[in-house]
Amino acid sequence: MSALLGRTLIVTAVRIVYLALWFVAITAAYRHLGQLPDGLAQAGILAVALATIKMVTTALGDPLDLDVVRRVAPALHDDPDEALAAWRAAQQIRLLLAAVVLAGALLLAKPVADRLLHDASWSTPILLAGVAAAMEFVYRGYLADYQSRERFGSLLRLEGLLQILRVASVGGLLLADRLTASAFLMAYAASVSVAAVSAYALSDRGRRRVWVWSPAATRKTLDYVRWVAPALMLSAVVERLDLLLLSGMRGPEQSGLYGALMPLLLVPEMVVGLAMVVLQPRVADLAAKGKLLDLWVGVCKLTVPLAAAATVVVLLFAEPLIGLTIGPAYRDSGLVLRLLFVAAMFWVAVVPVALSFVVMTQPRATLLVCALQGVLVLLAGSILIPEHGAVGAAISVLVMRVTTGLVLCGVALHALRPARADVRIAAG
């Protein structure tokens, strides 16, 4: 267990460096956009576009990632051909879905811009977001391959390539004073396209032959994702539903004030997410052995005090933090940041291990929890956003995070306690 946690800390530390580079780039971008004549609207457009990319790649990619991790890791030593076929099946589905995303972006860019951004002329950022989402979707398949085989050195090198490309391109736009929402998204799409092509080119021969089809492997993938995919798709939509509701009800200026805060909030969540990349291949195995509660407690001993300390800092210094990072144009978002940060810290402190366990082992329960998330955000947002704008959206997220976090922890504890009792009886 200590070796696993040690490797987790090392891999997470390197990925935090990558995340810090991206954090600097994106906060500099929001700071620059805030100084433009239509700065808040530009920031809102960028926030909606990035939320759309995240929503599509998470909704369509996470079910396939989980299937690869749960099937490849156990088969690597006993049946390497089956492990390769499982990854190929997932990647073939990714390529088909990427083509659908590209076609959808071409067809729906103007209607989506008209509905979400209140101006069909903003269709170009939406189209670029579709291109970026499709290419990132394919790129993530190679990350899932490295994760499932626990080849974290290769994973880190591939992620490093993408971050260097993204940060360099955004930095170049800033230095040339050419940064707009559309230019940022064009750089984003180009960077992830180069990374995806590079990942394919550097793959071994078996993985380059991605067209080799195994009906049995594809059937197993579809049997798993038919339950998990709806849940994770719903979860991905819920994760960005607050911003989409805010943009649709109050316009891009309000979504700019709200969306520019996302980098400040995503840092702690992504740090925990980076750690879970290392832990996920072991979650199901440790649960079966009755040891997952020990891991959960060990993780919480680290995350709870860190989350509490970070919360105190943000509650006391929200406005100075906003001024130092994304700039004074967003100074009216202090209360919003406080509400969203409390919600985020509650989630990262106690939920990630429980969430991974429930998603991997109880797809039907996952679907019900995700449906609850959607209902809470939709109801609270519809009531609060029209009058309170960004503050109302933040309150709806806080209500959803606390309620569903407690439900997930309860479901996980209910499932894990009998397993641990069975292990103790067997040992006795």
pLDDT band for position 194 (50/70/90)? very high
Q: How far is CA 105 from CA 114, 119, 206, 385, in A?
A: 14, 16, 32, 28
State pLDDT tens for residues 19-31: 788 888 888 898 8
Question: What is the pLDDT confidence band of residue 169, given thresholds at 50, 70 and 90?
Answer: very high
pLDDT at 15 over 80: no
pLDDT band at 360 (very low <50, low <70, confident <90, very high): confident
For the segment 293-309, the average pLDDT, to the nearest whole number, is 86
Return the percentage of the chain with pLDDT > 90, whole number. Answer: 24
Residue of 30, 48, 40 whose CA lies nearest to 244: 48
Q: pLDDT tens digits, residue range 315-336?
A: 999 999 998 888 888 888 899 9
Q: How many CA atoms lie within 13 A of 202 on its CB side?
A: 16
pLDDT for res 217 = 79
> What is the pLDDT of the chain when averaged over all its residues?
82
Confidence at 108, pLDDT banded by 50, 70, 90? confident
Cα 233 from chain centroid (whole Å): 12
| Nearest CA-CA partner of 357 in 265, 293, 314 | 293
User: Is the pLDDT assigned to residue 2 strictly greater than 70?
Assistant: no
3 state DSSP class of 327: coil
Average pLDDT, integer, range 296-302: 84
Model confidence pLDDT, tens digit, residues 45-79: 888 888 888 888 887 888 888 778 777 766 667 77
Question: How much is the average pLDDT of 191-218?
Answer: 86
pLDDT range class, residue 343, cuts 50, 70, 90: very high
pLDDT exceeds 90 at position 115:
no
* Greatest mean pLDDT among 14-23, 61-70, 181-190, 407-416: 181-190
The answer to whether residue 422 scores a pLDDT higher than 60 is: no
pLDDT confidence tier of residue 128, bands split at 50, 70 and 90: very high
User: For the whole model, what pTM was predicted?
Assistant: 0.73
Predicted confidence at residue 249, as pLDDT, reads 86
Q: How confident is the model at residue 3 (pLDDT cuts 50, 70, 90)?
A: low
Measured at the alpha carbon of residue 162, what is the angle toward residues 161 and 163, in degrees to the nearest 5? Answer: 95
pLDDT per position as a tens digit, 265-285: 876 666 666 555 556 666 766
Residue 400: which pLDDT band, with cuts at 50, 70 and 90?
very high
Q: Which of 74-78, 169-173, 258-262 has the lowest mean pLDDT?
A: 74-78
Asked if 57 and 134 count as a contact pair (C-beta separation under 8 A), the reply is no
pLDDT reported for residue 247: 84
Secondary structure letter of residue 117 according to DSSP: S
